[in-house]
Structure 1
Amino acid sequence: MKYYLKFALFMVVLLVIWEVLVKVLNVDSYTLPAPSAIVQAFFTGYPDYKSDLVPTVLLVLEGLFMSVVFGIVMAVTLHLIPTVEPYIYPLLIMSQNVPVIVVAPLLVIWFGFGLLPKLIVITLVCFFPVTVSLLEGFKSVDQDLRKYMLISGATRLQIFTKLEWPGSMPFLFNGLKIAGTYSVMGAIISEWLGTDKGLGKFMIISQRAFQVDNVFVAIVWIIIFALVIFGVIRLLEKMTVRWKHD
């Protein structure tokens, strides 16, 4: 609790400094609005952007689900079939070195303006932490327990389901926390490809109209969504991996 209290106090100090500097230096609102102006736009402009919130939330959840499934499948495949790892793992690393903003227009050309290219963008952004973390978890299980199970006649599938998979849960949730926070950013980038509703569209429209306060409003909502997802994943971790916290 003290940790979050210190952070809250630190943020208050930063916002006060921001507010004072904007007023003292007489910075134009279309260059950098004051926090008070952003808060005002956050509440007074809610009727204008409320219809953009739900589409972004749904896109984040769908993209995160697809990313988690793909990441887990890749990690399990590379672990259970180690002969394919030298061929597949470098491709996974390469996928993280290609700027998503460059690939995104190509996805529109290949798959159109529907939901699929948006989900692919989010998956490209989010799956890698899940895959890497889970692979590390598989390799970090107690080797003595593995040897004991082999001596006891356990099959490869039994070792995986009884030892490796449960033992890798803390690593999986570490990857999920990273992927969860990245998923919101991935959703916003995917909405820049073209959409009727969403915070990404609201942000672009605000930029073109030089409504910088609304751009910051969108950023605030992005932060809120990311924090909520992180909190939910952490709660699920405490409920699932109770032995770690005990």
Structure 2
Amino acid sequence: MSSRGKKILLGILGALALILAAELIGRLGLAGKAWPAPSDAIFSVLGNKLNSALLFRSLGATLVSAGTGLLIGSVAGVAVGFLGFLFPVLRPGLDQTASILNTIPLVALAPLLITLVGPQGMSVLTAALGAGFAMFVATASGLLAVSPAHSDFFTVSGASRLQHIIRLSLPSAVPSLLGGLTLAGSGAVLGAVLGEWFGAPSGLGVLMISSMQNFQVKLLFVVALTAALVSLLAFYTMVAIQKLVGRRFA
């Protein structure tokens, strides 16, 4: 078996072991009523038409917010990163501003953000923030990841600044941008779910709050599991795109 096959097999075995452990903890009641058996929770929620319809409707709302935020955040992150590349004097300030925004807890930023976009726009905005920072870092580092030999060749050949950017800097930044997308995808999903906690009309985050307030433990477990799976799916989708497109610019 190849090394890649062994990694895939070990990953599957690890996931199965984790699922089995979670099932045993729930079945034996080792963590109390707050930890239901995953199989019981899933079948209980999906077997109830009202709960399953509510779950899928909330999932759809979260996906729309995450997708919109991913698009907005990616465009903004790339634009700001490119701005710092074109005007190096702005780069330190942009780097510090992006770092500060990324380190401040969302709970502290929430009151200010709500006044800007309202509760209904919070999920899209927080998703954009989650994706934007990853794309900004990927753009800023990728545009500077030019081989010195290639840069010298363009300079000696008399290439203009515009030709240098279009034919060398941008193609060299593609692998970094694709790597940033792998983080931006899952970051947008997480940001959308967190943003829905601050007054969104629907979404997985809203359903989490509702299930907690009504002590619906099984529903809460399934909603949290759904959010985790969607974030994981977004990550691996971006990884697949990275491998597919990255071969051209490797």
The TM-score normalised by the length of structure 2 is 0.89
Provide, for residues 196-239 of structure 1, a one-character-per-residue CA deviation record: whole Å limited to 9, x for no partner: 22111111101111112211211222122222222332232233
Q: Percent identity?
A: 26
Q: Secondary structure at the match of 1:168?
A: helix
Shift of 1:42: 4.5
Cα distance in structure 2, aligned partners of 1:241 and 1:25: 47
Matches within 5 A, 1:29-108: 29=33, 31-44=34-47, 45-108=51-114
- 1:15 aligned to which of 11, 16, 19: 19
CA distance in 1, matches of 2:45, 2:187: 23
Q: Do the aligned partners of 1:133 and 1:174 also contact (CA within 8 Å) in 2?
A: yes
Aligned residues: 243
Q: Against the structure 1 CA distance between its residues 39 and 154, is the aligned structure 2 distance closer, same or farther, given a 3 Å change threshold?
A: same
Q: Following the alignment from structure 2 to structure 1, what is the Cα–Cα distance between the partners of residues 36 and 164?
A: 58
In the alignment, the residues of structure 1 paired with residue 72 and residue 23 of structure 2 have an alpha-carbon distance, to the nearest angstrom, of 41
Q: How does 1:59-208 map to 2 (within 5 A)?
A: 59-115=65-121, 117-208=122-213
Extract unaligned runs of 5+ from structure 2: none
1:239 aligns with 2:233: no
Q: Which moved more, 1:135-144 or 1:45-54?
A: 45-54
The alpha-carbon distance between structure 1 residues 20 and 114, as it changes in their structure 2 partners (threshold 3 A), is: closer
Query: Which residue among 210, 215, 230 is the counterpart of 1:225?
Result: 230
Amino acid of the structure 2 residue aligned with 1:59? S
Q: Following the alignment from structure 1 to structure 2, what is the Cα–Cα distance between the partners of residues 229 and 221?
A: 12
- Conservation of the 8 A alpha-carbon contact between 1:38 and 1:217: yes
Q: Deviations over 1:37-91 (max 9, x none)?
A: 2221342241232221211111010000011001100110001110111222211
RMSD of aligned C-alpha atoms?
1.9
Distance 2:30 2:150 in 1: 66
Distance in 1 of aligned mates of 2:152 and 2:21: 59
Structure 2 CA distance, aligned partners of 1:87 and 1:27?
48
Q: Which runs of 5+ in 1 are unaligned?
A: none
- CA–CA separation in structure 2 for the residues paired with 1:114 and 1:13: 40
So what's the TM-score if we normalise by structure 1? 0.91
The separation in 2 between residues aligned to 1:162 and 1:8, in whole angstroms, is: 42
